[in-house]
Amino acid sequence: MKESGVEWVQIKEAFKAKPGSRISLKGWVRTRRDSKAGLSFINLHDGTCQDPIQIVALNDLPNYESEILHLNTGCSIEVDGELVESQGKGQSVELRASEIRVVGMVEDPDTYPVSAKRHSFEYLREVAHLRPRTNTFGAIARVRHALSMAVHRFFDEREFYYVHTPIITANDCEGAGQMFRVSTLDALNPPRTEAGEVDFEQDFFGKEAHLTVSGQLNVETYCCALSRVYTFGPTFRAENSNTSRHLAEFWMIEPEIAFADLADDARLAEDMLKYVFKDLLDRRADDMAFFDKRIKPGLIDTLTHIVESPFLRLPYTEAVDILQKSSKKFEYKVEWGTDLQSEHERFLTEEHFKQPVILTDYPKGIKAFYMRLNDDEKTVAAMDVLVPGIGEIIGGSQREERLDVLDQRIDEMGLPKDEYWWYRDLRRYGTVPHAGFGLGFERLVQFSTGMANIRDVIPFPRAPKQAEF
């Protein structure tokens, strides 16, 4: 784009341009420092890279006194000038301004919510519309994008098809927690049946409908036709969870592979995590250096180590054994047949192995009906990928492809078999062994950036009592 006869470039491109180039930059002021030698330094960012660029504004600019000396953090400007090698330390190049046009001033600098000082993440969450202007949240936005693209690229390179599974579901049987209702009925005065219950036959879909808690059941149908598929979409859980790693609305990646068993599934999970971490370290080196320096020292080493070394695989039964034999005092006793507590998972990843661990073959009693029953008839072919600091980042399994075994599991758990008619059809017509997993995208971003709270790695977090913006 041309502006005043000078080419407008992104700041990340400006850093790569040759000194002597005449360019135009547009962005938002981060800081302004004046020198009585008759010039001001303006740090300008436009979101295209971690570092702001330094603008040098001499006092011979016509609007120096009237406007430039009044620029504050947050003001938007356009700058034409010549890229020159910097005389000062701290940056290689800077833009010597020949013209600065003020696009938007900050109305009241005294109350601008993200002034040039350190702010707590809790506070910035309250100004989520302005926090992307800070270096941390700009970096998070770029990392989110990079990870999203890496996920798609990973699957595309392996001939997986991206399947758009529905957001609204009328299955009341997905069994992954509380669901949000979707309805057009009058909530204050819904139609009633003769028995006095809400008559959902009169609702939009003719039956109860909810927001999806997982795309898995739907994506299995495409897996059993296209062989390798995945979904990557919004997912909703109405659980009253108040933790640093749960959201009511989050994005989940769910691949599903046909003619595959749990070992194939675990390999896919490992390959995928390594691919996206490596891609992130390569493509967003600037932001990762920032997270490593300011958010979580050692982050880059941790991710590099994960990329370079094989994941540990450990059956649940052996994990229980390790926990029982450890001298560590746990608040909850470890017993075969019960789910591991957070403290147990943390011990394994953070103290015992100090690396990600894939736990496999859990007792059937604590896992979902669709997970394939192992030959011991006590465990199922399930896996959890546990990482230090966060815990479960991936949950997956080989699916039960044998109709008689699936039916037995549905009965055992007291689930309504009729509701699963189309899911059961997959086992009646050309069934195949298949497997898949769910990766919580925000947990991936959390782990990749070292951010402590999941509400800070999604632009506008939804959680209990939190739906502002």
> What is residue 9's three-state secondary structure?
coil
Min. distance of Cβ 220 from RNA in angstroms? 14
Taking CB under 7 A as the binding criterion, the range among 7-15, 186-194, 201-209, 334-342 that sits at the site for RNA is: 334-342
**8 A C-beta contact, residue 52 and residue 79:** no
- CA of residue 381 relative to chain centroid, distance: 26
Helices (H) then strands (E): counts for the chain: 12, 18
Residue with smaller CB distance to RNA, 123 or 162: 123
- Which amino acid is located at 117 in the chain? K
Q: What are phi and psi of 80, to 5 degrees?
A: -100, 145
The minimum distance between CB 235 and RNA, in angstroms, equals 7
If the CB atoms of residues 388 and 440 are measured against RNA, the closer one turns out to be: 440
Nearest to 348 by CA among 366, 368, 325: 325
The distance of closest approach from Cβ of residue 300 to RNA in the complex, given in angstroms and rounded to an integer, is 22
Nearer to RNA, 203 or 270 (CB): 270
Whose structure tokens read 């959680």?
Answer: 463
Name which position in 116, 173, 198, 307 contacts RNA (CB under 7 A).
116
Q: Is 91 in the site for RNA (CB under 7 A)?
A: yes
Segment 62 to 81, residues that bind RNA, using CB under 7 A:
70, 72-73
Nearest distance from C-beta of residue 40 to RNA, angstroms:
8
- Looking only at residues 272 through 331 of this chain, which bind RNA when binding is defined by CB under 7 A? none
> Exposure of 120 by Cβ count < 10 A (0-12 exposed, 13-18 middle, 19+ buried)?
exposed
> Which bin fits 443, alpha (ψ -120 to 50), beta or left (φ > 0)?
alpha
Q: Which two tokens stand for residue 368?
A: 């979902």
The least distance separating RNA from the CB of residue 30, rounded to whole angstroms, comes to 9
For RNA, the binding residues in 133-172 under the rule CB under 7 A are: none
Stretch that binds RNA, among 187-195, 317-325, 337-345, 400-408 (CB under 7 A): 337-345
Smallest gap, in angstroms, from Cβ of residue 155 to RNA?
17
Give the nearest distance from C-beta 453 to RNA in angstroms: 5
Nearer Cβ to RNA (86/227): 86
Integer angstrom CA distances of residue 282 from 113, 189, 272, 394: 33, 57, 15, 23
Helix orientation angle between 441-449 and 135-157, rounded to the nearest 10 degrees: 120
For RNA, the closer CB: 41 or 161: 41
Name which of 119 and 313 has its Cβ closer to RNA.
119
Q: Which of 183, 341, 408, 431 binds RNA (CB under 7 A)?
A: 341
Q: Considering only residues 4, 35, 66, 184, which one is a binding residue for RNA as defined by CB under 7 A?
A: 35
Span 187-216, contacts to RNA by CB under 7 A: 214
Asked if 113 is part of the footprint of RNA (rule: CB under 7 A), the reply reads yes
Closest CA to 230 of 156, 130, 325, 288: 156
47 part of the interface to RNA, by CB under 7 A: no
SS3 131: helix
Count other Cβ atoms within 10 Å, centred on residue 460. Answer: 13
Question: Could you say which of 394, 406, 426, 445 contacts RNA (CB under 7 A)?
Answer: 394
Tell which one of 242, 304, 309, 324 touches RNA (CB under 7 A): 242
Residues 450-469 that bind RNA (CB under 7 A): 452-455, 463-466
Q: 254-283: buried (b, 16+ CB within 10 Å) or exposed (e) per residue? A: bbbbbebebeebbebbbebbbbbbbbbbeb
Cα–Cα distance measured from residue 307 to residue 293, given in angstroms and rounded to the nearest whole number = 20
Q: Which is nearer to RNA, 97 or 314 (CB)?
A: 97
* Smallest separation (angstroms) from RNA to the CB of 333: 12
**Touching RNA, residues 243-262 (CB under 7 A):** 243-248, 250, 252
Place of tokens 């959902």: 200
- Of the residues 45, 237, 364, 427, which one makes contact with RNA according to CB under 7 A: 237
Q: Is 242 exposed, middle or buried (0-12, 13-18, 19+ CB in 10 A)?
A: exposed
Q: Applying CB under 7 A, which part among 120-128, 257-265, 278-286, 402-410 lies near RNA?
A: 120-128
